[in-house]
Each structure stands twice: as C-alpha cells, then as structure tokens.
Chain A
Amino acid sequence: EVQLVESGGGLVKPGGSLRLSCAASGFTFSSYSMNWVRQAPGKGLEWVSSTSSSSSYIYYADSVKGRFTISRDNAKNSLYLQMNSLRAEDTAVYYCAKCSTTTCPPGGFDYWGQGTLVTVSS
C-alpha cells in the first residue's frame, strides 16, 4: 500500500524557516517524480515544486522561487521542502504527492499525503 506521511509543519514567524519532510513507502520511491502542493485555508490547490526521480530536474512556482528548496533522499525514501523567508501568504496545508508516471509531466498526482499545516504569523 502506498503511503505518504508529511511532517514538520507548525507555527513560524514571518521571515522564519521551516523544513517539511515526506516519508514514502509502498512503492519504488527512487523511480518517480515527486511534488509539493499547498492549500491555503479555504482556498484552492496550488502546485509548489517538483523534483524528478534523480533530482536532475527541479521546478518551482514563481511564488516560492528563491525561497523554497525541494530535495529528496532516495536511500531514505524521503522528500523534503526547505522553506526560508516565510511570509503570511505561505500559510497553508502542504501535501506531498506522487506522480502517476515516472515523470511529471505527463502524469498527474496519484497518491497524496494527509498534509501538514504551516502557519506563518507573528
């Protein structure tokens, strides 16, 4: 059974940093691109970042470029999101999501974690 479990969320002050983790199991993690997607309270889904299986290709949304860094450790079956210079508008539930194909595009996101809440507030 595929499982994605996020951790690392919490309350942080504007300008602060946080590192999210996503522990994956039930599939060959090293073969699939992975993504972070966020959802602000009461709002829609926003794609944040993706990394290819070997980290050769990494992409970011304009809203987080230069502040967030996605990474992965295939030996530990884990995905990470380092978030720096956090702003109030980064407040959201952050989901990790697996690509349904080995690369995204073309695939969609076939498995999602339960999400971890990040709150940026003074």
Chain B
Amino acid sequence: QSVLTQPPSVSGAPGQRVTISCTGSSSNIGAGYDVHWYQQLPGTAPKLLIYGNNNRPSGVPDRFSGSKSGTSASLAITGLQAEDEADYYCQSYDSSLSGVFGGGTKLTVL
C-alpha cells in the first residue's frame, strides 16, 4: 500500500488530454512538500518529468504539466502521443523527511 494514491491505469486516444491524480495527506503533500513526477518507459530507469509541483526539466515537452492543491497533485498530458505510453509516478516527502511514492499509473495510448 503506497503512501500516495494514484489510479492504477488511465487511457486516451492520440491527441487527447489525460490527467493522473496523486492523493496524499496532511503529513506529506498537505504539509507543504513539493510533488515531483516521473515517467518510466518499459525496461528503463525512471526519468524526472515534473519537479517542484509544476516545473519541467529542459527537454520535457510542454504537453506535460503539473499542479498541486491541498493534499493532492495532478499530472496532465495534452496532445497524447504513442510515445507517452509508460508508467507515471508521483513522489513527495513525509514529515519524517522520508521519500514517498505513489503506486504508479500505467498510461495506455489507444
């Protein structure tokens, strides 16, 4: 059971918009810790996709965006492409300064 809750799967057709939610609590996201998002393609290491709630590292397309409100965060992907099919994870910290991850969401591009 992961500390942060994500839907196990989401799907969308090419060109569509999908969102992935990440729900925490007052001891992690709600305590003010930033949320970060990672993309993991099959057989590869995770890649930082969004940092500090809503910032994109250089090279990440602006189709990806993040937001945070209260004890939750969301990742939005617009203009869905086949190459976006991957697992997505949210990550934050808890009050003991331990890292916490969501259980991951598998994105399927139909």
Contact = CB atoms under 8 A, between A and B. Distances in A.
A47 interface: yes
Contacts of B48: 100, 108-111
B99 interface: yes
A57 B99 CA distance: 14
Interface stretch (A12-20, A22-30, A78-86, A112-120): A112-120
Nearest to A47: B99
A108 B91 contact: yes
A106 interface: yes
Interface string A92-122: 0001000010001111111111110000000
Contacts of A41: none
Interface residues of A, number: 25
A45 B101 contact: yes
Contacts, number: 74
B24 interface: no
B45 A105 contact: no
A112 B45 contact: yes
B99 A50 contact: yes
B89 A44 contact: yes
A45 B104 contact: yes
B46 A112 contact: yes
Contacts of A106: 33-34, 52, 93
Nearest to B31: A105
B103 A105 contact: no
A44 B102 contact: yes
A46 B101 CA distance: 6
Nearest to A4: B45
20 contacts: A37-B101, A44-B102, A45-B104, A50-B98, A59-B98, A59-B99, A61-B98, A100-B51, A105-B97, A107-B51, A108-B34, A108-B38, A108-B51, A108-B52, A109-B38, A109-B91, A110-B51, A112-B45, A112-B46, A112-B47
Interface of B: 2, 33-34, 36, 38, 40, 45-48, 51-52, 57, 87, 89, 91, 93, 96-104
Interface of A: 35, 37, 44-47, 50, 57, 59-61, 95, 100, 104-115
